[in-house]
């Protein structure tokens, strides 16, 4: 089974809310909410992938020094296995704006379970909630 490496981030605003993005129509798992991020390209580190994806998808800039490793997900889907490190980030430049048709929501940690997520993301919720 193919292993896909995806890097994700919990962007945490000054009010302690976490940014979620809803997968747009036409993508697999459309309508589900996820932590921003994306696939790690060959030769790219998970941190570099996040910096690139945050700029492309949300129009914000951050730095490797602002990405704190928090936990990871390891989940088997039907056609691939997902390995996804989750970083926490409290510092970035710019205002997060949906640039790829996704809907964004700033969510209090205790309300994260109210947003349907892909199976790989669900186990990350209690870890993130307890950490915050």
Specify the pLDDT at position 24. 86
pTM: 0.93
Beta-carbon count within 10 A of 23 CB: 19
Query: For the segment 56-99, what is each residue's pLDDT rounded down to a tens digit?
Result: 999 999 999 999 999 999 999 999 999 999 999 999 999 999 99
* Whether pLDDT at 44 is above 90: yes
115 touches 104 (CB < 8 A): no
Distance separating alpha carbons of residues 33 and 11, to the nearest angstrom: 14
Distance separating alpha carbons of residues 119 and 98, to the nearest angstrom: 23
* Whether pLDDT at 11 is above 90: yes
Which among 100, 113, 1 is positioned nearest to 53, based on CA atoms? Answer: 100
The model's confidence at residue 100, banded by pLDDT at 50, 70 and 90, is confident
Instruction: Look at the domain 2-131 and name its fold.
Output: Nucleoside Triphosphate Pyrophosphohydrolase (3.90.79)
Distance separating alpha carbons of residues 125 and 48, to the nearest angstrom: 24
């Amino acid at each position: 089974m193919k292993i896909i490496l995806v890097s994700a981030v919990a962007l945490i605003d000054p009010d302690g809310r976490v940014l979620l993005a809803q997968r747009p129509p036409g993508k697999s798992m459309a309508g589900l909410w996820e932590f921003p991020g994306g696939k790690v390209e060959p030769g790219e580190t998970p941190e570099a992938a996040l910096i690139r994806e945050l700029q492309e998808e949300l129009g914000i800039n951050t730095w490797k020094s602002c990405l704190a490793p928090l936990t990871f997900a390891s989940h088997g889907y039907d056609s691939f296995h997902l390995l996804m490190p989750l970083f926490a980030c409290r510092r970035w430049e710019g205002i997060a704006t949906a640039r790829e048709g996704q809907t964004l929501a700033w969510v209090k940690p205790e309300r994260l379970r109210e947003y349907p997520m892909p199976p790989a993301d669900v186990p990350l919720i209690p870890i993130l909630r307890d950490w915050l």
